[in-house]
Amino acid sequence: MTTAHWPAPFSATPLDATVTIPASKSLTNRYLILAAIAEGESRLRAPLQSRDSDLMIGALRALGAGITEVPGSGDVPDLVVTPIPAGFTAPDGGIVVDCGLAGTVMRFVPPLAALVSGAVKFDGDPAALVRPMAPIVAGLVGLGVRVEDGEDGFLPFTVHGSGGVDGGHVQVDAGGSSQFISALLLVAPRFNTALHLEHIGESVPSLDHISMTVEILRSMGVSVDDSTPKHWIVEPATLAGFDVSLEQDLSNAGPFLAAALATRGTVRIPNWPANTTQVGDKWREILPQFGATVTLEEGVLTVTGGAEIRGVDIADTSELAPSTAAICALASTPSRLRGISHLRGHETDRLAALVAEINALGGNAEETEDGLIINPAPLRAGVFHSYHDHRMATAGAIIGLAVPGIEVENIGTTAKTMPDFPAMWAQMVAQTAEPSASTENIAAAETEA
């Protein structure tokens, strides 16, 4: 990935654009895990092609799964997956899984590795070595799995699988990430007995992602009892091979939808699902609070920016927070984002990073215990650093639409979930509406806010 600065496209006129978004990372990587433990061949249609999904494919192949690209109905090839063979044993010397900076790989794959025989070492990018992993280690140890070098709660560590995992009652503190819950739930159908997973601690962030995991498991016939808060009981089950078409990534749609607000224009995204488990569907609730008009008609989500961007007070924006914060930085009144303290443990400390980058451009942002306060301030040209975090990079792109002279450091990090982001962004910006008398210079409107 390049580390050169990317001149963020600026738009002095409203956009009038239609954008198609690649498939969901969250769904792609969950279905890949399930295909690896199914009883027969599975097919994922139009899955995400990105660094995160490539890392997941590499991890599953290392554990014995067969994954082959085959022609699909569109530009993106399908994936045909044959499951990990029964009794698969790691070769002498063990297996090394490169997690990169993918949370779904470093959290979802260790429980799967416990089902094979032998040593599987997990390592990753330098930034991955500071992401919290203690709940995964604790959960595996609580289930009788031997984990070497995981005492500090970080990568690298080695899972010594014995070919199977007994279920039972295990407690984890998932306050840092919902992925700690999803990781164990996804593999639980292959445990010898039922898994009773209990979260100990306060609230779990990103509950929508756990709901996604639960609904996918249920759609495959797995019994999941989540009727008691903070408790999940998963019964053993045989998963048949499946054939699934992947929804587009609604979280990744966020920066493109935010562009409508930043330019006072309109952005349309076709094939928006009427019903979905993706957290990105919250954009339909979030964007109107900023003053945008949002409609979903015949599968097309249309967002039109208002005359001004109003500040908001919103809780639990989760992975949508960086894009939301970028819109807040362009707003004419103060904003507060709550319930996102767990973002300090994502690809980077997103709260600290957002404050540093917004303020470096002349903004007025500060951290709170559980989020951010962002006050109106005129923004100026400058470099917006990505911290090797794809959502930080796209936040900089949003601000760049409204403020001339923004450069995003390492836009290549967007390849984590959206490899073609720079080209997609440029194509969107090229689709401008006809200037009108009511639309002067968007930069002036934003910097005077």
Other beta carbons within 10 Å of 119: 19
- Residues 181 and 213: their CA atoms lie apart, in Å, by 9
- In sequence order, the 6+-apart residues with CB closer than 8 A to the CB of 240 are 38, 39, 40, 220, 221
Catalytic residue among 69, 198, 319, 407: 319
Q: How far apart are CA 99 and CA 93, in angstroms?
A: 19
Q: Are 384 and 396 in contact (CB under 8 A)?
A: yes
Q: Provide the terminal-to-terminal Cα distance of the chain, rounded to the nearest Å.
A: 35
319 in active site = yes
Instruction: State both tokens at 431.
Output: 């689709």
* CA nearest neighbour of 244 among 48, 14, 101: 48
Rounded Cα gap, residues 334 and 313, in angstroms = 9
DSSP 6-56: EE----SS-BEEE--PPBPHHHHHHHHHHHHHSSS-EEEES---SHHHHHH
Measured in degrees and rounded to the nearest 5, phi and psi for residue 14 equal -65, 145
Question: What is the gyration radius of the CA atoms in the chain, in angstroms?
Answer: 22
Return the SS3 of 220.
coil
Q: How far apart are CA 97 and CA 61, in angstroms?
A: 10
Contact 392, 322 (CB under 8 A): yes
Which residues are known to be catalytic?
319
